[in-house]
Chains A and B, each alone.
Chain A
Amino acid sequence: MSHYVVPPSVYVKAAIALAVLMALTIFAAFIDMGSMNPVVAMTISVAKAVVIVLFFMNVKYSSRLTWVFVGGGFFWLIILFGMLMPDYVSRDWQHQGQPWAVTQQQAPAHTPEAPAPQP
């Protein structure tokens, strides 16, 4: 057996799981969770991507070398976002206060005024 033939029942189960997750992501979008909304949405999307990669793309039944190639492909994204976001999020802190506080309109205006320049 040179190649594992995945039974169709696996594909059907994966599709059902994806349908449930898709319904969940729409449902979650209409609940107000504040800044957690995008986090929940992305968590569900990552879960869907994992289901697709493991079962539809047969990676679960593939060799270890394939796992390395797949992992390398996605690890790049962690490098990209992991290094990009700390930079953007932490820019201009001294001038604009906290960016996550500004994004919520109902947030109280506790952003301190910039100190007057010392003569």
Chain B
Amino acid sequence: MEQQTESAILGMWLFLAQEIMFFGGLFAAYLVYRFKYPEAWAAGSEELNITLGAFNTVVLLVSSLTMAMSVHAAQTGKQKRLISFLFLTLALGLTFLVVKYFEYKAKWEHHLVPGSNFVIHSKMFPDVDQAHSQLFFVLYFFMTGMHALHMVIGAGLLIWLIVLAYKNYFTPQRFMKVELVGFYWHFVDIVWVFLFPLLYLVHRHV
């Protein structure tokens, strides 16, 4: 039993290790171009809504807490607590996605989606290079989009756990599924912990 638990945890960490590699590559691309075009990065970051970004950071933080609480509820066999914490985590995850949708919608309306209609009017950097700013938004949409896709998958996994919990699947001896989905959920939170300052807080101090 102990060996089973250990190998499940190690297997999950192996999966997360390759997730680190995946996001690591994106962060590397971000870093290289930020060094190359610092002005475009500052101008692009200026266009992002810092309030919504901070709100979503808090939402994810609280959802990580409720996820950890549902792991504890599963380990101690508290069925009702487990279901309510899973629902709470799911609701917070969906809140994040709804806020993200409104952020994307605003970018679309402001012509900040990369493509032939892209145009940036920066007050702080009026002469900022359009193509370089576009690159910032390519990375913005790809990185936050990949993160949002992980959130959608996480929401699906939570629904699966809720269904299992309703079937009384989890016992104090059998809770690994909750714990491992928890690992995944916390990992997605970690990605956002880096995305938030790197995208929203590039050049706020002037």
Contacts and interface: CB of A to CB of B under 8 A. Distances in A.
Given A81-B31, A88-B35, A2 B2 contact: yes
Contacts of A55: 68
Contact of B65 (A15, A33, A48, A69): A15
Contact of A80 (B13, B24, B194, B202): B24
Contacts of A109: none
Contact of B16 (A56, A63, A73): A73
A80 B29 CA distance: 11
Nearest to B195: A45
A119 interface: no
Interface residues of A, number: 53
B32 A88 contact: yes
A13 to B, nearest CB: 10
Contacts of A31: 205
B38 A103 contact: yes
B154 interface: no
A69 B1 contact: no
A84 B32 contact: yes
Given A49-B193, A52-B186, A76-B21, A30 B61 contact: no
A42 B62 contact: no
B72 A81 contact: no
A58 B8 CA distance: 14
Contact of B190 (A38, A44, A52, A88): A52
Given A15-B64, A25-B201, A32-B205, A52 B20 contact: no
A65 B17 contact: no
Contacts of B206: 32
B25 to A, nearest CB: 8
A95 to B, nearest CB: 14
Question: Which of B58, B61, B179 counts the most chain A CB atoms within 10 A?
Answer: B61
B171 interface: no
Contact of B64 (A3, A45, A56): A56
B61 A19 contact: yes
Interface string A15-55: 10011001001100111110001100110110011001101
